[in-house]
Structures are given as C-alpha cells and as structure tokens.
C-alpha cells in the first residue's frame, strides 16, 4: 500500500471539483480552516455547511475526528476532513467553548491570526509580550480535551511560550524556516528547535509568499529546504501543510487580513502591487500535485520510508496522539 497523504492546512473554495481532485491525488486527509474571524455562532454555521457537504459528497469525503478516521477514509476511498480555526475568535471570551467546539469536531486552533488576541501575540505586532493570562488557561484546556495548539500565525515569544506551557506537543501547521525565506510568518531556527524538542510538528507551506522565489520556487528548492530542516528538527517532526487557497477570489485575501478590525487595506505578506492570491508553483496547483512532492524528496536524499513519513505518516502519528482527552 502506498504511503498516507495528509495535508495539514487548506482553505479552498470548496466544491465537488476540489473533492474529486483530492481523490484523484490520493489525499487521505486534509485539515481545513473553518474560521478566520468568525465568532461562535458563525463558526457553528460553517460547521452546518460542512455537514451538508458530507451528506452531498459522502462518496468523496467524510468528517475526521481521530487518526483512525484517516485509516477508515483510506479503506473506503474517501478523504477525511478535519476542522481547524486560524483564530481563537470562535471561543469568544469563554473557556467553556473549547470543549464544546472540540465535541463538534474542531481539532486545531491557532491562538492568534496575525494580530494580538485575547490569548497571544500575532506575527505582525510590533511588541511581543507572549501568552496572556487567558492564553495560558486556554492552552491547558485545549490540552485537556485534545484540541491542538497551532502557532502558525503567532509571534516568536508567543510561540515559544506556547511550547513551554503546553503539556502536549503543539503544531505549526503551515510555515517554513525564516532562515530560508524571511517572511514574517516563517519561523526562526530557535522556534523550530524548541518545537522539535517538545515533540511538536511543522507543516511546510506551499503558499508562494512563504517560498523563496515565490511562485517561481522550484520543487527541488522546496525539497532542499525540507532536507535542511530535517537536519535541524529530525525527520519525525515534519510534514506538509500547503496553505492551499484554491479557487478563492482575490477579495478573500483582503477579508482574511483586514476583516472588520481596520478600515484600511492591510496588505499583510503581499505588497501593494500584489494584494491578491499569488499564482501557485507549477508543481503544486491543486491536490493532485501532493504525491508529486515525493519525487523531489527522493532526489534530495530522503529514503522511501522517510518520504512516506513526511507526506503523511508523521501527521497520522500526531493525530493518534493529540486528538483525544489528556491521559
């Protein structure tokens, strides 16, 4: 049997076309963003929309709650969909909603999305005080129920604080090393070492603003970066989190970055000349390109078992260990 394929972050404009591409690409599981700025009620509405997708496309997708659901999806020829938030907004200011949302299927939650939140500091803030008092309490509650702490859009100190305060390994589901490409969202070697030493996981992003060379980044450049990171973190601590935003209109970028917290356009990781979604690298236009990364990994020296771990085996182990209540 071929290796598991798991993509630990996408925010596509979901459609039957995309679900069929997942199946054509042999993708066993995808962590999907169901909240960027939404509060509790709006997030529940998004979950209801996904419930309808699961009904309408039951031959292609199913909801994932545990690692065993990835195995079940593989056995039944489907893709397991795991819910995650790129914001703590769905819990509002109520720690009790952590457990409620976990019961509804949430398995990842970022403590901040670029800006300061009630829990932590985002990667675009000038000051970085780290986790807040509420942040430390929410991390403990997330640990208790099995909701993974995700620090993909968080600042340096906040990320290190989360690693230190979390009793369970955390994840950075979609980012790359800042030493390779200094995007604000990419992570320092200090963070990556601490993440690996704590048993956490890094998902490598294919979003062009996170890539050296942007849309022109080659597969070999990307895989060489993965090889260098493996030397720093170990092969067991890395996977893929593409940050694929397929078929989204450019207006969604402005909504992601600015929402309603500002009346100005927030260009974020792009420039004023390129405020929309950049073109994907030619080797990863959609889910059918995920397995093609294997060839690049083998060319830069990874063995077949190591390649299998990076493309999905490591995430599957992490799911098995992370999604249930704290022992």
Domains in the chain with CATH codes: 6-322 (3.20.20.140)
Quickly list H helices, 146-215: 156-165, 189-197
Question: 202: part of which helix (H) or strand (E)?
Answer: strand 201-204
Judge whether residue 118 has pLDDT over 50: yes
| Opening angle at CA 298, ends 292 and 302, nearest 5 | 130
The pLDDT of residue 13 is 96
* Residue 128 pLDDT level (bands cut at 50, 70, 90): very high
Distance of alpha carbon 323 from alpha carbon 67, whole angstroms:
8
| Dihedral over alpha carbons 132, 170, 270, 119 (to 10 degrees) | -20
303 has a pLDDT exceeding 60: yes
**Res 1: pLDDT:** 45
pLDDT of 126 > 80? The answer is: yes
pLDDT at 271 over 60: no
Q: If you average pLDDT over every residue of the chain, what do you get?
A: 95
For 149-182, what is each residue's pLDDT tens digit? 999 999 999 999 999 999 999 999 999 999 999 9
pLDDT band for position 268 (cuts 50, 70, 90) = low
Q: What is the pLDDT of residue 269?
A: 58
Percent of the chain topping pLDDT 70: 97
């Amino acid at each position: 049997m071929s290796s598991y394929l798991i993509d630990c972050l996408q925010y596509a404009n979901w459609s039957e076309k995309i679900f069929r591409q997942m199946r054509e690409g042999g993708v066993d599981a995808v962590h999907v963003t169901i909240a960027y700025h939404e509060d509790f009620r709006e997030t529940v509405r998004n979950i209801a929309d996904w419930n309808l997708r699961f009904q309408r496309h039951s031959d292609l997708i199913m909801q994932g709650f545990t690692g065993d659901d990835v195995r079940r999806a593989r056995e039944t020829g489907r893709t397991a969909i795991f819910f995650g938030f790129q914001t703590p907004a769905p819990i509002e200011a109520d720690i009790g909603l952590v457990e409620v949302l976990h019961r509804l299927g949430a398995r990842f939650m970022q403590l901040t999305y670029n800006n300061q939140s009630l829990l932590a500091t985002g990667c675009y803030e000038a000051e970085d005080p780290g986790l807040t008092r509420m942040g430390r309490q929410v991390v403990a509650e997330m640990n208790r129920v099995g909701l993974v702490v995700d620090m993909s859009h968080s600042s340096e100190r906040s990320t290190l604080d989360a690693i230190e305060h979390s009793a369970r390994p955390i994840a950075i589901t979609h980012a790359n090393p800042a030493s390779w490409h200094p995007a604000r969202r990419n992570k320092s070697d200090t963070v990556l070492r601490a993440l690996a030493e704590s048993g956490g996981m890094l998902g490598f992003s294919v979003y062009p603003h996170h890539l050296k060379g942007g849309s022109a980044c080659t597969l070999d450049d990307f895989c060489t970066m993965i090889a260098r990171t493996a030397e720093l973190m170990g092969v067991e601590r890395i996977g893929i989190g593409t940050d694929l935003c397929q078929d989204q209109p450019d207006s969604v970028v402005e909504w992601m970055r600015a929402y309603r917290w500002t009346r100005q356009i927030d260009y974020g990781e792009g420039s004023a000349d390129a405020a929309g979604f950049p073109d994907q690298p030619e080797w990863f236009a959609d889910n059918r390109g995920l397995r093609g990364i294997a060839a690049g990994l083998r060319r830069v020296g990874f063995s077949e078992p190591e390649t299998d771990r990076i493309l999905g085996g490591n995430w599957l182990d992490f799911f098995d260990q992370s999604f249930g209540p704290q022992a």
